[in-house]
């Protein structure tokens, strides 16, 4: 393939498990976020292509990086390169993502939780940091955002663990956790998860829940109300999905939300975020002396 465009899966931001620049986000911020998503989606489709050899995948990812730096042209990178220049944003987050997709090509197993978190540092955390940068939020919000984004990544891994194994022989479930539960990667190829694998999935879902708790301080610290509401919706969706993953078998039943469930649960999260923001605002009003 001559470019990443030829590897595109056809998936868009509307197909993701969590909101991406929804209507809650102001229009002026949506454009750079969607440009970032387009770049990430193109790179992800390259790394996940079932028929491309690894060397060709790595070459296409390198070309995306060169296009982002301006040394060549690529339609998947140009909108982001332009947005970064116009708004004075750093390209570091996009280059971190590219490194994560290179890791997807080269590495198909993760020995332990620490290795998985290192992957999330490159694959998930830069996304949240970029969105915060676009909105001009304080970098002090990064740690809470990192925790929430890592949780979202693990949820995606668990939802798609069977497909990732069958299509790409890729396993994100840490090998030491599988072994501790007397489970194995090969169980992911079965039509139904055995009890040992279900326990591993539930254990990881609980760790994702802990990460969501670690990121719970993010929403109250966000200055932009509309961004805070979107994050509140995402957090609510994430909590709902981890509860499902603690109990269900993603090999035999989809652990995803349909559009109605997505809207209802996400909307409830945004509403709670709005009530919380209003309550905090009232609490900060100066008391009147009499």
The answer to whether 145 and 132 are in contact (CB under 8 A) is yes
Contacts of 236 (CB under 8 A, 6+ apart): 265, 266, 268, 269, 270, 272
Alpha-carbon span 240 to 265, nearest angstrom = 8
Q: Residue 254 has what pLDDT? A: 83
Q: Is 177 exposed, middle or buried (0-12, 13-18, 19+ CB in 10 A)?
A: buried
Q: Does position 36 have pLDDT exceeding 80, yes or no? A: yes
What HEC string does 36-75 produce? HHHHHHHHHHHHCCCCCCHHHHHHHHHHHHHHHHCCCCCC
Q: Residue 274 has what pLDDT? A: 63
Contacts of 194 (CB under 8 A, 6+ apart): 183, 187
Greater pLDDT, 27 or 197: 197
Comparing 46-50, 140-144, 192-196, the range with the smallest average pLDDT is 46-50
The mean predicted confidence, pLDDT, of the chain is 88
User: Residues 161-181: pLDDT tens digits?
Assistant: 999 999 999 999 999 999 999
Q: Residue 130 has what pLDDT? A: 96
- Per cent of the chain over pLDDT 90 is 72
Q: Residue 14 has what pLDDT? A: 54
Could you state, in order of their start, the residue ranges of all structural domains in the chain? 20-106, 107-278
Cα Rg for the chain, rounded, in angstroms?
Answer: 20
Q: What is the mean pLDDT of residues 132-159?
A: 96
pTM, 2 dp: 0.88
Q: Residue 268 has what pLDDT? A: 67
- DSSP H helices in the chain: 27-47, 54-69, 78-87, 92-106, 113-123, 125-134, 142-159, 161-168, 175-180, 195-214, 218-221, 225-245, 259-284
Q: Which CATH number fits domain 107-278: 3.40.50.920, 1.20.210.10, 3.10.450.50, 1.10.600.10?
A: 1.10.600.10
Q: Does position 286 have pLDDT exceeding 50, yes or no? A: no
Alpha-carbon span 74 to 58, nearest angstrom = 16
Q: Does position 196 have pLDDT exceeding 90, yes or no? A: yes
Alpha-carbon span 124 to 93, nearest angstrom = 10
């Amino acid at each position: 393939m001559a470019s990443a465009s030829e590897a595109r899966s056809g998936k868009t931001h509307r197909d993701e498990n969590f909101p991406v620049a929804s209507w809650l986000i102001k229009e002026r911020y949506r454009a750079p976020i969607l440009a970032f998503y387009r770049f990430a989606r193109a790179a992800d489709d390259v790394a996940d292509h079932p028929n491309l050899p690894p060397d060709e995948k790595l070459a296409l990812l390198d070309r995306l990086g060169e296009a982002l730096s301006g040394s060549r042209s690529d339609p998947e990178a140009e909108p982001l390169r332009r947005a970064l220049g116009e708004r004075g944003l750093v390209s570091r987050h996009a280059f971190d993502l590219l490194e994560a997709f290179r890791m997807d090509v080269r590495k198909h197993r993760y020995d332990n939780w620490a290795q998985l978190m290192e992957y999330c540092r490159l694959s998930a955390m830069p996304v949240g940091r970029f969105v915060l940068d676009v909105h001009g939020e304080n970098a002090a919000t990064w740690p809470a955002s990192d925790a929430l984004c890592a949780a979202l990544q693990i949820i995606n891994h668990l939802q798609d663990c069977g497909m990732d194994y069958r299509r790409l022989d890729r396993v994100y479930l840490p090998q030491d956790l599988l072994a501790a539960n007397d489970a194995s990667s090969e169980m992911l190829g079965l039509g139904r998860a055995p009890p040992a694998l279900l326990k591993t999935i539930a254990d990881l879902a609980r760790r994702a829940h802990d990460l969501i708790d670690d990121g719970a301080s993010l929403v109250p610290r966000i200055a932009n109300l509309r961004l805070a509401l979107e994050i509140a919706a995402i957090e609510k969706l994430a909590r709902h999905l981890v509860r499902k993953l603690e109990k269900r078998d993603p090999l035999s039943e989809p652990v995803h939300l349909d559009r109605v469930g997505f809207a209802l649960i996400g909307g409830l999260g945004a509403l709670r975020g709005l009530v919380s923001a209003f309550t905090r605002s009232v609490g900060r009003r100066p008391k009147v002396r009499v």
